[in-house]
Amino acid sequence: MRTLFFTAFSLLLSTFIWAQPANDDCAGLIDLGVVPTCPGNTEIYDNVDATASDIGFGNIPDCFNGGSVDNDVWFSFTTTDDIVDVTVSVLGTDMGPNGTITNPQIAIYRGSCEFDGLSELACFSPNNGETIARIDILGLTPNETYFVRVNDYSATAAPNWGDFTICAEEYIPDINIGDETSTTACFGTLYDSGGPDGDYTSNENHTFTICPSDLNNCIYIDFNSFNLENNFDFVNIYAGADINAPQIAEITGAMTGDGFPVQVSSECVTIQFTSDGSGIQAGFELTWQCSPLECNGSGFDNPTPISSIPFSATGVSLCDGAATFMETPCGGADFINGPEYVFQYDSPGGLCAMISVTNAPGGTGVMVLNGLPGEPTTVCVAQSASGTITSANFEDAGTYYIIVADESGCDDFDITITETDCALSPALVDALCNPLNGCVEDGGVPSIFMFEDGFQDVPMVNGTNSGCWLGVGAQPDFYWFTIEAQADGPFGFILESADIPSDIDFNVWGPFTNEEVCDTPADIINYITNNEPIRSSYAGGTEPTGLADIHPQLGYVIEDVYDCQGINDDIVQTIPAQVGEVYVVLANDWGNQIQGGGIQVDWGPSDPAVLAPLAIEIMGQDTAVCPGETVQLSLSNVVDTYQWIDPNGTLSCTDCPDPIATVDATTTYQVVVDLVCYVDTVDVKVFVYDVDAGPDLDVCLGESFEVSAGSNFDLA
């Protein structure tokens, strides 16, 4: 028994020793070499199954959480004649077999590995949950070897050991932008040109590019502070080696909240600072560090899932996200310039929802996209700079992204999403195949449509597509609608606020065809984004604006098509529409005064026949076939929402525009067309011939016989 116990114990002991890292104790340390040294670019280390070492005096480093060194491993580095200020970095990585180390702790020693032979110089323990530890040691002795102890901290019995890389590099002093243009350092601090104690100056334009030479998958940037002249001086951040790369953040004004994190997954990041010729402020301070781990903030690569609606969450922090993108199909919403938090909702279809962001600082907004930003098919579903979307359209099944962001920094917020009635969307993509024909009220009563506060889904660029506009006002409040002319004649309207008077501007594009706006909406959106409108009004003031041939207040004939090219009187000429032409109208509350009443549209300048309801028919109308034959049914107009009624289950589909009917008996088919202001039902009757040619007969060759089958048939 004693021999068997010894053998078993020896086997267990040898297995245990084999599992320990080679550098489990100081005597077996791994020499990193002469500074600068970063074997982490090629080597991955770990402290899995490491055991506590005992160096004698001062065995527990002063800053180590938990007062233990249960899983410590050892390294060394050597200074040179020129490099005596050193930064040691431990970076958790998921590129090894064990998963990343969490809560790494570092202690630096001088001396020797003999018992009581080491003296602690410095130590560092990061915040709980972090995977990076970095320590600066200045004024070391030239050509001296120093010892590095790495341990993980855990508040429970379960260790946080894992894989990591380690570097000992020359310490990088703080940099003032403008003093240097680039760096390959994996970490550092960048100030404005005035440094930590001074202000920046006027008319600056500096760039600073960070391209770390160390292996990395994410560059983390955090603004410790910023105070810039609001909307005149900017820090712009680009995900690449210069300012031609995609812009992912824009910073102006003063920071609020608990920070302003930015995460970049590209190899380089470029920081640009510009100031105008007037006021100056204290400037900014930011730090950067690279990591071999993938960027882990709540973004499009790591969204928070919403399993169903209703949904609510409290105390969500934008600090758990980061600024990772800025360019969206929603256009110029300032709130998206800062840190964002991304939710993902896989809609089953057939619903709309109200989204409310509360208990958040002013300037926190919310946006809904139906795909990833940058994808050509992604459109802006809804957006609000105030944090409330009254009706986001999730009627089409698919993946949607709900983004909450704040341009001033990160703070906590609550979010509530509840199902609601589907309202008429202000978005261009929803307006294209949903013309407002048939919305004219009896007696000429104006129509009223609701803005979505802070909504913009297409950028307005001076000299490209903005017409007479000079910006979008204090904040964009876009509303799009279309008209499909049902007769030749003038198309016009008068716009004004339905409650508090406000300055309203509009642009009109066209003509397009029904097929273009319904079948290729992305092409139309691209056209509007890159082409000037055919009508535009921009004049200031709260007077009515629109398309008319006679000025509604002053009574004279209107001759201009652009308000900025003739008399600035808010009114431009009507459009001589031709039957079938589609015109796209954008109205914007430039004055940002409309609150609850929306926009009022008076259709008086139009020929009523132009605005008549769509004349939708089923192609071919009533028809007749023999039993078992098929008939192709289709609508004369492309519309957005329709449902076929199939009484006998003989249609190939009920939610497509052109089903195939296979009929054995005379059947009436109906299609319900749901248009913006009314629902129409159109029907078609398919007759099936009931032909009986009598019983079978046997006849001799050449013998004649009579077939009696009625009329309306062909013999074959």
Tokens of 461: 């660029």
Residue 715: predicted pLDDT: 47
Lowest mean pLDDT among 84-88, 154-158, 593-597: 593-597
Tokens of 6: 């010894």
Residue 629 has pLDDT above 60, yes or no: yes
Lowest mean pLDDT among 97-101, 144-148, 431-435, 652-656: 652-656
What is the distance between the alpha carbons of residues 105 and 115, in angstroms, rounded to a whole number?
A: 22
What is the distance between the alpha carbons of residues 575 and 341, in angstroms, rounded to a whole number?
A: 44
Lowest mean pLDDT among 22-31, 58-67, 458-467, 558-567: 558-567
Lowest mean pLDDT among 211-220, 401-410, 479-488: 211-220
Tokens of 241: 């080696």
Question: Each residue of 306-317: pLDDT tens digit?
Answer: 999 999 999 998
> Strand 163-170's sheet: what is its strand order?
45-46, 163-170, 86-92, 132-137
Percent of the chain's residues with pLDDT above 70: 86
What is the distance between the alpha carbons of residues 649 and 32, in angstroms, rounded to a whole number?
A: 76
Residue 677: predicted pLDDT: 56
Lowest mean pLDDT among 10-19, 434-443, 529-538, 613-622: 10-19
407 and 335 in contact (C-beta within 8 Å)? yes
Residue 673: predicted pLDDT: 60
Q: How confident is the model at residue 445 (pLDDT cuts 50, 70, 90)?
A: low
Q: How confident is the model at residue 6 (pLDDT cuts 50, 70, 90)?
A: very low
Angle in degrees, CA 299, 300, 304, rounded to 5: 65
DSSP 497: E
- State the chain's mean pLDDT as an integer: 84
SS3 state of residue 335: helix
Q: How confident is the model at residue 84 (pLDDT cuts 50, 70, 90)?
A: very high
User: What torsion, rounded to 10 degrees, do the Cα atoms 223, 225, 226, 227 define?
Assistant: 170
Using DSSP, how many helices (H) and how many strands (E) does the chain show? Answer: 4, 45
Residue 89: predicted pLDDT: 92
Residue 461 has pLDDT above 80, yes or no: yes
Question: Each residue of 247-268: pLDDT tens digit?
Answer: 989 999 888 767 888 999 899 9
Residue 716: predicted pLDDT: 47
Residue 570 backbone zone (phi > 0: left; psi -120 to 50: alpha; other: beta): left
What domains can be seen in the chain, in order of their start residue? 21-170 (2.60.120.380), 175-291 (2.60.120.290), 304-420 (2.60.120.380), 439-602 (no CATH), 613-716 (2.60.40.10)
Residue 2: predicted pLDDT: 24
520-543 average pLDDT score: 89
Closest CA to 584 of 457, 496, 514, 480: 480
Q: Which residue has the higher pLDDT, 689 or 327?
A: 327
Q: What are the E-state strand segments in 199-358?
A: 205-210, 218-227, 234-238, 247-251, 260-264, 269-274, 283-291, 304-306, 311-317, 340-347, 352-358
353-374 average pLDDT score: 90
Residue 687: predicted pLDDT: 65
